[in-house]
Chains A and B, each alone.
Chain A
C-alpha cells in the first residue's frame, strides 16, 4: 500500500473518490494516467525539473526568454499526453490571484499614463509588468501541473524523500515525514470512500445534507463526522498494529521493494533540462 506499486495506486486513486454522486467533484491529487515518457520519468527528475523551471522563469527578462519558456512548456505538455484542458483547469484556482496581480500592477506602477479614470491611472510600465507577472504565474502553475498530473502522489513522496535525503544530516526526519505523507495520501481515498458510505447510510435514514438552511446542514454533519472519526481511529490502530507486526522500526537500514533508479531516459531528461536552462540564459544575454 505504501510502496510504489503503480497498479495498486491507480486502483486506489481517483476512481474511488468518484464512488457516488455526493463526492463526485472531489478529485484527489490530479494524477492523469497516460502512457508517456514524462509519466515514466523518475520522480526525482520531475521534481528537479519543475524546480529548475520555476527558477528559470525568474531569470527570464524579455520576450525571447518567455518564448523559450513557452516552447519548453508546450513541448512538455505535448509529450506528456495530458489534455491541455486539464492543465488549464489548474489555472482556475489562481484566477483571482491573476486578476489581483494584474490590476495591482497596472494601476499602482508609476509611469506614463495611458488611461485614467477619476483617481485611477493605468500606466504603460504597469501594463508591461502586469503582463509579465501574469505570464510568469501561468507558466509557473502549468509547469507544476505537469509534475502533479504525470506523477502519482506516492511516487512524488518517494522522489521527495530521495531528493531531501541530505537534510537528514542536519536532523530533519526525512524518512518519517515521507512515511507520514505517504500514509496520509493512501488514506485520503479510503477515508473519502468511507465518508461517502456513511453519508449514504445516513441519508438512507433520512438525514438531510442538501438543506438550504446552514443550521440544518451543520447539524447533519454530526451523524457523519462521529462515525468517520471512529473509523479513522480504528484504521489508524489497525495500521499501527500491522506495521508493528512486520517489525517496522523507522527508516534506519530500510531497503525498498522498488528502489528509484535512474535509467537512460532520466539522464537524457537532465541533459534536456540543462540545455533549456542554457537557452534561457543565452536568450537573456544575446537579446
Chain B
C-alpha cells in the first residue's frame, strides 16, 4: 500500500496571533513494504505529518493519496482508512480505558464493524503477536507493568490489521530490553505481514539499525530523504538541525581525526566494527 504526500501544508491556528506553519509544501512517496525512519527535532513537524497521513488532521493545502485514493476527498470513507493505516502514538499506554486488557484490544476492530467472533479472533491474535502472557488477558490494563501496557496498546492498533503502521517514538521511556523488543516486533511485522513501516524516532542508533530510508524534517519541510548511509554523511547539517548521528559513526569520525584511515560509511555497530578491523589490521 503506497502513500503519496502531495504538496502538504498544515497551519495551526490559521488567522490568529498564534499562527504556526507546521508543514510547508511536503511531498514524497512511500512504497509498499518500505521501512521509513522519520526524524527531526522537536517542533519540526513530524507529529503533524503523521497525523495528516492518517487523516486525523486535514491538510491546509495539498493532499494524501493512500493506495491511489485521495483521503481528503469528501466522499472518501475515513473509517476505511483506519483499517489501512494504523498509528501508535507516543506513550500509547495512556489511551487504555477498558476494564480488562482483552476488551481494550477489541475496541479498534469492533469500531470497524466486524463480526464479534472476528473481533475476538483479531484481539487474541494481536495479543499473541505482542507476546503478552496469557494470565494478563483478563486483568485490568492499569494493573500491568509499563512495558506490558505498551504491548497492549500496540496490540490495540495491530488488531485493526493495518497495512501501514506508523509508530511515534515507540521506544520512549522503555528500558533497553523493552526497546529491543519493540524494534524486533516492528521488524517482524514488516517481514511476516508485509507491513509498511513509518518509524518516528529521535534515536539515530535505532534508525541506523532498522530503517532502509530516512526522511529528515526541519522547519516543516523534508530537508533530506535517502538511505541512512547517505543521510548520516551530512553530519554537519544534521547537527545544525539539532539532530545527531549514530554514536558509532561519531567514533569513526574521531578515529579519522586522530589519523586512523577508517571508512566512515559504516552506520551500524557491526559494520563499524568491521571497518575498524580493516583499518587497523588490513588483510
- Chain A: residues with CB nearer than 8 A to chain B? 14-15, 18-21, 24, 32-33, 194, 197-198, 200-208, 222-224, 226-227, 230-231
Contact = CB atoms under 8 A, between A and B. Distances in A.
Contacts of B160: 205-206
A205 B108 contact: yes
Interface of B: 12-13, 16-18, 20, 51, 54, 56-58, 79, 82, 86-87, 89, 92, 94-97, 107-108, 110-112, 142, 156-157, 160
Contacts of B54: 204
B156 A205 contact: yes
B17 A33 contact: yes
A66 B92 CA distance: 58
Contacts of A230: 94, 97, 142
Contacts of A208: 79, 111
20 contacts: A14-B16, A15-B13, A18-B13, A20-B56, A20-B57, A32-B17, A198-B94, A200-B56, A201-B89, A201-B92, A202-B95, A203-B56, A204-B56, A205-B82, A205-B111, A205-B156, A206-B108, A223-B95, A224-B97, A231-B94
Contacts of A231: 94
- Sorted nearest first, the 3 A-B pairs with minimum C-beta distance are A206-B111, A226-B97, A205-B108
Nearest to B105: A205
B13 A227 contact: no
Contacts of B97: 222-224, 226-227, 230
A227 B93 CA distance: 9
Contacts of B12: 15, 18-19
B18 A14 contact: yes
A196 B95 CA distance: 11
A204 B86 contact: yes
A222 B94 CA distance: 14
Contacts of A201: 87, 89, 92, 95
Nearest to B79: A206
A277 B59 CA distance: 52
B205 to A, nearest CB: 27
Nearest to A198: B95
A41 B56 CA distance: 42
A204 B89 contact: yes
A86 B179 CA distance: 49
Given A206-B160, A223-B97, A227-B94, A21 B58 contact: yes
B95 A227 contact: yes
A198 to B, nearest CB: 6
A223 B58 contact: no
A15 B56 CA distance: 18
Nearest to B58: A21
B13 A200 contact: no
B137 to A, nearest CB: 18
B58 A205 contact: no
B96 to A, nearest CB: 7
A223 B96 CA distance: 8
B88 to A, nearest CB: 9
